[in-house]
Amino acid sequence: MLDPSSTSIAVVSIATAGFTIAIGGIAVEVAEGMAVKQALASMTQQPDEADNIRSTLFVSIAMLETVAIYCLLIAMILLFANPFWSAALTAAGAGA
Amino acid sequence: MRLSPDELLVFSVGEVGITATVVYTWAAMLIALPLLIFYRRSMLVEVVVEFIRGQVAAVSGREDMQVMTFVGALFIFIFANNWLVLIPFVDPATASISTCAALAILTFIYGIYIAVREVGVRGYFRRFIEPSAILVPFNVLSEILKFFSLAMRLYGNIMSGAFMVGLMIVLAPFFFPALMNLFGLIAGTIQPFIFMVLATVYITTGVEAKKSRVSHSHNNSQKQGGKNARP
């Protein structure tokens, strides 16, 4: 049986991981959608410049995607490599 | 479930442990190098080299064979590593943070080398006190964070692909892992390109800005030459 402090660490970690992905995902998806929409509009207006626009679009989408990747990394650290959770487990093991 | 190929120790030489990451990197090099050497006169390799050359010229605005060789090697290395997912039970070595960090550190050192070669040591450090000396901490921080995000972007993209495949094998083992691997291949094709373009930008930006102020006309003619030389 887990003591209350360990349980609260687990609850807060899982909830924060979910919120991290959700909020970070919303912001990045909206930004990427705007970028792609503008790029498609420009491509239909100037088909000659399509290659240039496409490569710039890839790079800028990757830059935007970085924030989502940070969110993913933080969520995965919270879920699978949580330092506070490990400390609580060690303390519980030492206490038992 | 393994989070990264770093955690799997294949064998150890004395004190040094050889992890799966190192073995997968060797595998990618063993596949990519002979292909490139034996087929160096073929159409396909020519297309790849021409693509890298065009992109570097378009991004940096000049034809620098040295920079092109470096970022082209980065491109081919990351590409070969990412496509290792085609081999069963093998994770791409770029799904480990150590590989990506090593590539980013290499880019950082090479950027310093190019900047010192083109504008000198003083020119390189002058980059940090522009536009004002108060901003030195922020400039240093942004310089470090550029390469940190370069490593994290590659690692996060490839690792999340490999991780999703691992998750799907547990949840729905027959059809969906293959589909996720397909997505992984798309990301594995886009990511080397993005790493190459960003590395070119980071290596050449400060150098270009400095050059254009010192000899404007010379730089302009070089830029136009680069554009005209594009196919």
Rg value, chain A, Cα? 21
* pLDDT value at B204 more than 70: yes
* pLDDT of the residue at B35: 87
What is the percentage of chain B residues whose pLDDT exceeds 90? 19
The arithmetic mean of pLDDT across residues B204-225, rounded, is: 53
What is the residue-averaged pLDDT of chain B? 82
* pLDDT of the residue at A16: 94
Instruction: Specify the pTM.
Output: 0.81
What is the percentage of chain B residues whose pLDDT exceeds 70? 88
**Mind listing the pLDDT tens digit for each residue in A41-92?**
999 999 998 888 888 888 888 888 888 988 988 998 888 888 888 888 787 7
The arithmetic mean of pLDDT across residues A33-38, rounded, is: 95
* pLDDT of the residue at B72: 92
How many C-beta atoms surround the C-beta of residue B205 within 10 A? 16
A1 — pLDDT class (breaks 50, 70, 90)? low
B160, A81: Cβ pair inside 8 Å? no
B153, A66: Cβ pair inside 8 Å? yes
How many C-beta atoms surround the C-beta of residue B207 within 10 A? 23
Within 8 A by CB and 6+ apart from B26, the residues are none
The arithmetic mean of pLDDT across residues B181-207, rounded, is: 86
* pLDDT value at B229 more than 60: no
Give B19's strand partners: B9
A58, B193: Cβ pair inside 8 Å? yes
B133 — pLDDT class (breaks 50, 70, 90)? confident
Please give the residue of chain B at the shortest CA–CA distance from A80: B3
Query: Which residues in chain B have their CB less than 8 angstroms from residue A80's CB?
Result: 3
Query: Which residues in chain B have their CB less than 8 angstroms from residue A66's CB?
Result: 149, 152-153, 156
**Quick check: helix, strand or coil at residue B190?**
helix
Domain A8-82 in CATH 3.40.50.2300: no
* pLDDT of the residue at A81: 81
Mark which residues 134-173 of B lie under 8 Å from A by CB: 149, 152-153, 156-157, 160, 163
The arithmetic mean of pLDDT across residues A6-13, rounded, is: 87
How far does B153 lie from chain A, in Å, by closest CA?
Answer: 6
Cβ contact B67:B204 at 8 Å: yes
The arithmetic mean of pLDDT across residues B142-160, rounded, is: 89
**Mind listing the pLDDT tens digit for each residue in B109-123?**
999 998 888 888 888
B152, A62: Cβ pair inside 8 Å? no
A76 touches B: beta carbon within 8 Å: yes
The arithmetic mean of pLDDT across residues B47-75, rounded, is: 87
B193 touches A: beta carbon within 8 Å: yes
B3, A80: Cβ pair inside 8 Å? yes
As a three-state string, the secondary structure of B48-81 is HHHHHHHHHHHHHCCCCHHHHHHHHHHHHHHHHH
What residue ranges do the domains of chain A occupy? 8-82
**Mind listing the pLDDT tens digit for each residue in B171-189?**
887 788 888 888 888 888 8
How far does A45 lie from chain B, in Å, by closest CA?
Answer: 22
The arithmetic mean of pLDDT across residues B8-25, rounded, is: 83
Structure tokens at B71: 């970022």
A76, B163: Cβ pair inside 8 Å? yes
B58, A66: Cβ pair inside 8 Å? no
The arithmetic mean of pLDDT across residues B142-161, rounded, is: 89
Among residues A6, A61, A15, A53, the alpha carbon closest in space to that of A35 is found at A61
